Amino acid sequence: MLKSICPLCNGLYEIKYNCFSCNAKMTDEGPIVNFMDDYSPYLLDEITSKVDGAERDECIHIFRCPNCGTRERFSIERKAF
Protein backbone atom coordinates (compact mmCIF):
# COMPACT_ATOMS: atom_id res chain seq x y z
CA MET A 1 0.00 0.00 0.00
CA LEU A 2 1.30 3.38 -0.95
CA LYS A 3 1.02 5.97 1.73
CA SER A 4 0.02 9.38 0.58
CA ILE A 5 1.42 12.35 2.37
CA CYS A 6 0.95 16.08 2.19
CA PRO A 7 3.99 17.66 0.49
CA LEU A 8 3.55 20.87 2.45
CA CYS A 9 3.36 19.23 5.86
CA ASN A 10 6.43 17.21 5.00
CA GLY A 11 8.41 20.10 3.61
CA LEU A 12 8.84 18.51 0.20
CA TYR A 13 7.96 21.67 -1.63
CA GLU A 14 6.07 24.88 -1.20
CA ILE A 15 2.96 25.99 -2.91
CA LYS A 16 2.46 29.70 -3.32
CA TYR A 17 -0.88 31.41 -3.49
CA ASN A 18 -1.58 35.04 -4.07
CA CYS A 19 -4.02 36.90 -1.88
CA PHE A 20 -7.42 37.36 -3.47
CA SER A 21 -7.69 40.84 -2.01
CA CYS A 22 -4.32 42.44 -2.60
CA ASN A 23 -2.38 39.87 -4.63
CA ALA A 24 0.48 39.64 -2.16
CA LYS A 25 2.13 36.26 -1.64
CA MET A 26 0.36 34.35 1.10
CA THR A 27 2.26 32.32 3.64
CA ASP A 28 1.43 28.78 4.70
CA GLU A 29 0.31 28.72 8.30
CA GLY A 30 0.06 24.96 8.36
CA PRO A 31 -2.67 22.35 8.18
CA ILE A 32 -6.08 23.27 9.51
CA VAL A 33 -5.85 20.66 12.25
CA ASN A 34 -3.51 23.09 13.98
CA PHE A 35 -6.30 25.64 14.04
CA MET A 36 -9.14 23.50 15.32
CA ASP A 37 -9.80 25.78 18.24
CA ASP A 38 -10.31 28.78 15.98
CA TYR A 39 -12.76 27.17 13.64
CA SER A 40 -16.32 26.13 14.01
CA PRO A 41 -17.24 22.47 14.34
CA TYR A 42 -18.71 22.13 10.88
CA LEU A 43 -15.19 22.12 9.50
CA LEU A 44 -14.56 18.84 11.25
CA ASP A 45 -16.69 17.13 8.66
CA GLU A 46 -14.41 18.29 5.92
CA ILE A 47 -11.32 17.20 7.74
CA THR A 48 -12.48 13.80 8.80
CA SER A 49 -14.33 12.82 5.65
CA LYS A 50 -12.06 10.82 3.46
CA VAL A 51 -12.98 9.70 0.03
CA ASP A 52 -12.98 5.94 -0.18
CA GLY A 53 -9.86 4.64 -1.84
CA ALA A 54 -8.05 7.82 -0.82
CA GLU A 55 -7.67 8.91 -4.41
CA ARG A 56 -8.50 12.45 -3.51
CA ASP A 57 -6.98 12.62 -0.12
CA GLU A 58 -6.49 16.22 0.81
CA CYS A 59 -4.84 18.22 3.51
CA ILE A 60 -6.48 21.56 4.19
CA HIS A 61 -3.99 24.32 4.79
CA ILE A 62 -4.49 27.81 6.06
CA PHE A 63 -2.73 30.50 4.09
CA ARG A 64 -2.48 33.98 5.47
CA CYS A 65 -1.71 37.18 3.66
CA PRO A 66 1.03 39.11 5.48
CA ASN A 67 -0.11 42.30 3.81
CA CYS A 68 -3.82 42.50 4.61
CA GLY A 69 -4.30 39.59 7.01
CA THR A 70 -6.73 37.67 4.84
CA ARG A 71 -6.88 33.98 5.61
CA GLU A 72 -7.92 31.38 3.09
CA ARG A 73 -8.16 27.63 3.13
CA PHE A 74 -6.61 25.62 0.34
CA SER A 75 -6.90 21.94 -0.30
CA ILE A 76 -3.52 20.39 -0.81
CA GLU A 77 -3.61 17.07 -2.56
CA ARG A 78 -1.74 14.35 -0.75
CA LYS A 79 0.50 12.30 -2.96
CA ALA A 80 2.31 9.05 -2.73
CA PHE A 81 6.05 9.40 -2.73
Q: Which residues of this chain interact with Zn ion, rule CB under 5 A?
A: 6, 8-9, 19, 21-22, 24, 31, 59, 65, 67-68, 70
**Could you say which DSSP state residue 22 is in?**
T
- What would the DSSP string read from start to end of 31-67? EGGGGGGGS-THHHHHHH---GGGTT-EEEEEEE-TT
Residues sharing a CB contact under 8 Å with residue 25, sequence separation 6 or more, in sequence order: 16, 17, 18, 19, 66
**Nearer to Zn ion (CB atom), residue 8 or residue 62:** 8
**Nearer to Zn ion (CB atom), residue 13 or residue 42:** 13
**Minimum distance from CB of 41 to Zn ion (Å)?**
21
**Minimum distance from CB of 31 to Zn ion (Å)?**
4
**Minimum distance from CB of 2 to Zn ion (Å)?**
17
